[in-house]
Structure formats: structure tokens, C-alpha cells
Structure 1
Amino acid sequence: MPAIGNISQKELVTVSFTLFAVIDILGSIPVLISLKDKMGGHIRSTQATMASGALMIIFLFVGQQLLNILGLDIQSFAVAGSIVIFIIGLEMVLGMEFFKPDNNPKSGSVVPIAFPLIAGSGTLTTIMSLKANYHDINIFIGILINCVVIFVVLKSLKWIEKALGPNGLIVVRKFFGVILLAIAVKIFSSNLAQFGK
């Protein structure tokens, strides 16, 4: 268990901002809106937040052990997540449909929203990397802070969609679709190169 005495404001700020940048929930808004439409116009914000938060906390404490038990390495995990992200990016840019519409928001709120969009391979790998330099209690609190931000954004999607308008949404969706493709290619290529080593 993380020790309360190790709580550090400096570490907490650093960890929280690092996770916020990696999760990039604000940059994921166009993707989330696109997925929301496929899921009957509704995302289960609480379920998606709790699922992504649970994944991050599990990886904080037993990430490497869990992958070892499953016979997986972090590179395989990252490549699998990048493929899903790449497909979502293609949908956004080309207007094609790979993921079939799911009117049941229960399943979509976990995959692909909680994983790999929010608690993706990059986020989980970052959490494991942070353990080398920061105390677990500060990473744990940083995860909780980011979960609050995630929940607020997911709850505000309808308002954000209205503020952008149909045309603004199309432009932003295509722009972030290209960014998502680039991120997926970067994750895929950097981790694929590790397989031969």
C-alpha cells in the first residue's frame, strides 16, 4: 500500500500534468463525440471513468506482473492498442465505418473508450515509467485527479457538441483524426522495432 507520508505537492503536480498530457482527454473530444453517436447518442460517463481509472490503478501496482502472467510484453500491448486507435482515426478522416453502431452503451463505454482511448498503452506505459521516479501515493492521487477531469469532459460532451456546431465538429473531427493516425503510427512503429531486440 502507498505510504501517506510520501505525499509531495511537487511530485503530485508533475505526475498529474504528465498523465493529463498523455491521456489527452481534451484532444479526444472529437473521437468521443463520434463514438457517442455510434452508441445511441449516450456514453456511460461513470462506467467509462471507473473502468479507465481501475485499469490505471491496476497497472500502477501489478502492471508488469499482470503482463508477465499473461505471457505478454509491453510492446505487444502497445501495438494492439495502436491498431484500435488507427482504425478510429481512419473512421474520422475518411468517414468510413469499421466499428458497427452499438446501441448498447455498456460495451462501448469500456472498449474502445476506457481502453485504449483513455487508459491506452501510452497511459499505462507512462504510469509504469513514473514508478521509477515518484512515490506510488502521488501517482495514485494523480490518477484520481485525472479521473475527475475525464468524468467532467464525458458529462459535458453534449454541450461541447452544441458549442462546436455541425460544421465545426466535422473540421475538428478530421483534424484530430489525422493526429490520432499519427499517434497510432508512432506507437506502432516504436514498439514494433523492439520486437527483434
Structure 2
Amino acid sequence: MRFDFKEVITASMVLFAVIDILGSIPIIIGLREKVGHIKSERASLVSAIIMIAFLFVGERILNLIGIDVNSFAVAGSLIIFFLALEMILGISLYRDSEPESASIVPIAFPLVAGAGTLTSILSLRAEFQVQNIILAILLNTIFVYLVLKSSGRIAKLLGTGGVNIIRKVFGVILLAIAVKLFAANINELF
């Protein structure tokens, strides 16, 4: 086991692309409007814990309950699909009676530590040293925290019209990601 800067950078870039916290800004702003304050520290910490725990026991947990990685990815794609529909159509599918929980669901899971991220972590584990993946997860968690913390300022900077345009554009992108994740994994189920 050794630290490898190249592995850390590569794993960080993979996770950055899959987590796509910048693309999730419209969802975060929408949730902030819906539930009020989002606990950035809590959401970041919980997502980091989920990702690191999944690095060590993810595949075993899925196997233990009889779920393969492909089924997990298909389920994640459906969640992403419905989040995208909310963004594109301006409808509300996600409702929660406890506003504080928006920091955990849907931000920490499945937005940050979702099926795509967790599946990617399993793939990275096959290629890279564990400590390098953990460092990549921590670097991404710091970036997620910074975006969550500044989402209010980003919303003010963009204005209502800007947020709505970005929400629709990223909704379509998120929808495409959901379809791709679904298509890539559905064939493996049959």
C-alpha cells in the first residue's frame, strides 16, 4: 500500500465527474427553497461516510441482500430520472414532512453518494489503492461542502431567471445521465 499522486488525481476526477455537484446546483437551490436551510456540514460528512463505508463493504452488503451492482445502478438511475423530471417540468415529486432531513436525503444520498458514485467507487477499488481512493473521496467531499455552503450566494448571483434556465438545462443533462446509467445496466439484469 502506497500513496500515489496520479491515482489520487485520477480517482478524484472520476468521482468529480460522477458526483457532478456543479450540475446539481439547481437541485440544491430548489431544495433550499423548499425546505429552508440545508446543513452543508452534515450532508458532506454523511456523504463521505457513505462513500468510504461503501468502499470497504459495498459489494458484500449488496451480495448479502441479494442485490447486484447492476440492479443498484438501475435503481439509482430511476431516482436520478425523477429528480430530472422535477427540474425540467417544474413539478414536485419529492416531499418530506421533516425539513431537516433534506441534508441527508436527497443531498447526501442519492445526489452526492448515489448509485453512480457508489458503483464508480467499486470500479476504482479494482484499479487503485484504497488510501488513494479515500483521499479522492475526501477531496471531493471538501468541494461538495464548498458548493453546498455557497449555493445561496450562487442563487443570488444567478437570479430567479438564471436559476430556472440552469435548472432546465441541467435537468435534461441529468435525464440523459439517468437514461445512460439505466441502459448500461439493464441488459445485465436479463
- TM tier, shorter chain? over 0.9
CA distance in 1, matches of 2:115, 2:153: 29
The residue that corresponds to 2:106 in the other structure is 112
Please report how far the alpha carbon of residue 189 of structure 1 lies from its aligned counterpart in structure 2 after TM superposition: 2.0
Higher normalized helix content (fraction of residues): 2
> What are the residue-to-residue correspondences of 1:49-88 with 2, within 5 Å?
49-88=44-83
CA distance in 2, matches of 1:80, 1:111: 15
Q: 2:148 aligns with which of 128, 131, 154?
A: 154
Structure 2: 5+ residue runs without aligned partners?
Answer: none
The residue that corresponds to 1:8 in the other structure is 4
CA distance in 1, matches of 2:95, 2:6: 45
The secondary structure found in structure 2 opposite 1:193 is: helix
Paired AA for residue 111 in structure 2:
L
Q: Deviations over 1:52-90 (max 9, x none)?
A: 111110111111111111111111111111111111111
CA distance in 1, matches of 2:69, 2:174: 20
CA distance in 2, matches of 1:162, 1:102: 27
> What are the residue-to-residue correspondences of 1:25-44 with 2, within 5 Å?
25-39=21-35, 41-44=36-39
Q: 1:133 aligns with which of 127, 131, 142?
A: 127
Consecutive aligned runs of 4 or more in structure 1 exceeding 4 Å deviation: none
Q: Deviations over 1:77-118 (max 9, x none)?
A: 11111111111111111111211265622x221111111111
CA distance in 2, matches of 1:101, 1:164: 27
Q: 1:166 aligns with which of 149, 160, 164?
A: 160
Paired AA for residue 10 in structure 1:
K
Answer yes or no: is 1:194 the counterpart of 2:177: no
Paired AA for residue 164 in structure 1:
L
The residue that corresponds to 2:94 in the other structure is 99
CA RMSD in angstroms, aligned pairs only: 1.3
Stretch deviating more after TM superposition (76-85 or 140-149): 76-85
CA distance in 1, matches of 2:175, 2:139: 28
TM-score, normalisation: structure 1: 0.92
